Chain A
C-alpha cells in the first residue's frame, strides 16, 4: 500500500519561503547584466510554469537554449519517421510530444488520421512489448532525446535482441549536450555568460565533461535540478560565480548527480551507440552531436531497414526557430509569433513542443521581450 504524501526531503524543494529567500540573495548579489542559458526543455517548462523568471532582477536574462529534443530533431528525421509510419504493417511508436511536430508535409497525427498505426508510448520498453505482441507487424520506435533517454533507448535494443525479435527497430535520433554547448559558445553572436547544466542529463553522464568547456570559454556552469528551489539556487550560484569572476563547474543537484555520473548507464549507452554527426533543426549539423547505432546493432536501425529513399525536406521560411534555439532571438521577436504561428498552427518545432520556447512564451503569456 503506498503512501499518498511525498516525504519532506522532496517537497522541501517546493517551499515558497525558501525560494523567496534565494531570490532575495540573487537580488543582493547582482551588480551587472548577465545572460544565462539553460539547455533543458524540462527546466524551461518548469521556469515558465512557476513563473520564476518574473522573480529575477532585470539584470539577469534567462535565455532558453535548444534543450527540447522534440524541437531540435531534424526535419529529415521527422520526414523519415512520417514515411515509415505511413507504410502498411508498421506500428510506429513514439513519445507523445512528437506527434504534432510538423514535417515537410503533415505530422504523425495526420498519418494516424489517414489510417496509419501510430501509438504513443510512455517508455521505449513498452514499444518492445508491442513488438512482442504483434509479430506480424514491424514495430518502430522514434528514439529521440538527450543523454537522458539514451540508456532507455539502448535497453530497448538490448531487450529486443534478447527476445530474438526480428520485427523491432529504432529510428536513432538522440542528441548530446556538450557538442551543442560548444556550438553555441563558439558562435560569433554568442552572448551567453553562464550555463545551467541539465540535471537529469547529468544524473546519467555526470559532469566530468564540463570543466574543459568551462575553461575553454571561461564560463561558469552549475548543474541544476527541476524543482523551484533547485532552479533558483542554480541561478544564484551561477550569478555568484559570475559576480566573483570565477570560472568553475558546480553541482547544485547533489541528491541525484555525482561527478562521474552513472557508470552503468554510460557503459550501456556506449555498448549500443556511438557518436555521429547530427543535424539540429534550425541550427545545422553539429559534428559528433548525435548517437547512432554501432555496427553490431545496425540491424535494429529503422533508417536502414526501411528504404526511405531521398526525402525532399521543406522548412518554413518564416520560422526563426534556429535563432531562438541558439538564444539569439526571442520568440516575441519572430514576425509570425502569435499570428500565423500559434500552438494550434505551429510553423516550427519550438511552438509545437510543450516546452519549446515559443510554446512556453505563448502559453504562459510572455508577450514582451
Chain B
C-alpha cells in the first residue's frame, strides 16, 4: 500500500495543555469507523500485530494457498456489538452473516463458509438467542453459505452487552479477478447500488434515545449473488466496497487514498430516501456519513458503467443503483462533491462519533 502521509496524533511542541486527545484509553469514537478508528488501527494495531495483508487496507485478505498456484482465497472477520440487537429490517444475527459475506464478496470472492464465535451475557433471554440464530440461519440460506465452525462463551452479568458475535468468512476468488481498494483508475465510473443512510437511521430509531418514529428499515442484506451476477457481465470491475461505518464519504475517501486518485461526486445523483434525509436534517446528521449494510460501491471502467447498472438493477438489492461520480488523476486522495448549486465541497473522513447537533 502506498505510504500516505500520517496526520500526526501528537502536538507540535509544548504549546497547549489541551485538548484531550484520547491516547490514554479507548473511547467510543475509536469504534466509529472514521479517522479515530483509522488512527487506532494504523498507529497501534498494525504497528504491533501487522502484516502486509492488513496493511493493504481492504475489507478481506487475499491469500494464495501454498502449493496451489492460482488458487486465491479471501478471508475476512468481523465482530458485531450493535445495540439494539433488533431493529426495523434486521438484527444482529442477520448483520453478522451479511456483513462478513459482503466483506468476502468485496474482493470478488465467492463466499462459501463462515465461522461464528458467540459471547453471551449471563441472563440473556433464550428466546432472543433463538430469534437471532434463526435470523442467521435464514441469512445463510439466502446467501447459500454454511456456518462450519463455532464457539460459545458465557460471561458474568455486566461483562458483555447481552450478546456479542464474531464471524469469519471464507471464499474462493476465481482466477484473474483483481478487485481491491487500490485499483481505482482515472476515468473510472463510480456507482452505488442503492440509497444511503437507511441502516444508520434505522438503528438510531430503534435505540429510542432521539425519540423519532418512521418507516425506515435497515438495508442489511447479503450481496454476494448480486455481485457475482455483476462480475459475470462486467468482469473488469476495479473496486468493490460496502460503505458501512463512516458511510459513503469515508469509504470513498479510503479508496481515494489507497488508489491515490481523486473522486468527484455529483450530489444530485446520490440516492437518499426522503424520510432518511428528513431524519438526518432533524438531528443534524449527514447521510453521506451514515452506515449502510446492504449497499456496494462499484468502481469500474466508464465503458462498462451502463451494463453494470442494468445488471445491478435486476437484483432486489440494486433497484436504485445509479452512477454517482467519476475517478480522476489530479489531487490524489481528494473526494469532492459537486452540489446542485454549481459549488463544491470537500469530503473528509468521519471524525469520531456522529453526534446530533442543535445548530
Contact = CB atoms under 8 A, between A and B. Distances in A.
Direct A–B contact in complex, judged by CB atoms less than 8 Å apart: yes
Interface of A: 4-6, 14, 16, 19-20, 40-42, 45, 48-52, 54-55, 67-70, 95-97, 99-100, 102-107, 109-110, 112-114, 119-123, 126, 144-145, 148-149, 228, 314, 316-319, 336, 339-340, 342-347, 354-355, 362-365
B217 to A, nearest CB: 14
Given A121-B209, A339-B12, A342-B7, A109 B358 contact: no
B344 interface: yes
Contacts of B9: 345
In the A-B complex, list the 5 residue pairs whose CB atoms are closest, starting with the nearest: A51-B343, A365-B346, A102-B19, A96-B355, A96-B356
A356 B218 CA distance: 32
Interface of B: 7, 9, 11-12, 15-22, 25-29, 35-36, 39, 209-211, 273-275, 278, 283-284, 339-346, 348, 351-353, 355-359
A363 B348 contact: yes
Contacts of A126: 209, 211
A50 B28 contact: no
Contact of A340 (B11, B36, B352): B11
Contacts of B7: 342, 344
Max chain A Cβ within 10 angstroms of own Cβ: one of B19, B209, B210, B340: B19
Contact of B275 (A4, A20, A120): A4
B18 A354 contact: no
17 contacts: A16-B341, A96-B355, A96-B357, A109-B27, A110-B22, A112-B28, A113-B28, A120-B209, A120-B355, A148-B359, A316-B19, A340-B11, A340-B15, A343-B351, A344-B351, A347-B16, A364-B346
Contacts of B36: 344
B15 A363 contact: no
Contacts of A20: 341-342
A55 B27 contact: no
Contacts of B20: 102, 105-107, 109-110
Contact of B26 (A49, A113, A148, A344): A113
B355 A100 contact: yes
B18 A314 contact: yes
Given A113-B22, A119-B209, A363-B348, A41 B343 contact: no
A67 B121 CA distance: 47
A45 B74 CA distance: 43
A5 B348 CA distance: 30
Contact of B355 (A5, A48, A99): A99
B158 to A, nearest CB: 13
B358 A97 contact: yes
A97 B353 CA distance: 11
Max chain B Cβ within 10 angstroms of own Cβ: one of A67, A148, A363: A363
Given A109-B27, A113-B28, A345-B21, A317 B16 contact: yes
B355 A347 contact: no
A227 B353 CA distance: 26
A336 B15 contact: yes
Nearest to A41: B359
A128 to B, nearest CB: 13
Contact of B358 (A145, A339, A340, A342): A145
Contacts of B273: 4
Nearest to A345: B21
A347 B341 contact: no
Given A112-B28, A113-B27, A120-B355, A107 B343 contact: no
A55 B15 contact: no
Contacts of A19: 341
A55 B26 CA distance: 43
Contacts of A149: 358
A104 B16 CA distance: 10
A122 B357 CA distance: 8
B211 A345 contact: no
Contacts of A336: 15
A50 B359 contact: no
Given A97-B356, A102-B18, A343-B351, 11 more contacts: A41-B359, A50-B343, A95-B357, A95-B358, A110-B27, A114-B25, A145-B359, A345-B9, A347-B19, A364-B345, A365-B345
B288 to A, nearest CB: 11
Contacts of B278: 6
A70 B359 CA distance: 9
Contacts of A347: 16, 18-19
Contacts of A99: 355
A14 B352 CA distance: 30
A345 B345 contact: no
B343 A316 contact: no
B19 A346 contact: yes
Contacts of B359: 40-42, 45, 67-70, 97, 145, 148, 355
A228 B341 contact: yes
A10 to B, nearest CB: 11
Contacts of A316: 15-19
Contacts of A100: 352, 355
A51 B341 contact: yes
Contacts of A68: 359
A329 B94 CA distance: 52
A144 B7 CA distance: 32
Contacts of B18: 102-105, 314, 316, 347
A109 B29 contact: yes
A113 B22 CA distance: 9
A340 B11 CA distance: 6
A241 B204 CA distance: 46
A42 B345 CA distance: 17
A277 B26 CA distance: 39
A184 to B, nearest CB: 19
A41 B358 CA distance: 9
Nearest to B36: A344
Nearest to A19: B341
Contacts of A105: 17-18, 20
B15 A345 contact: no
A20 B284 CA distance: 26
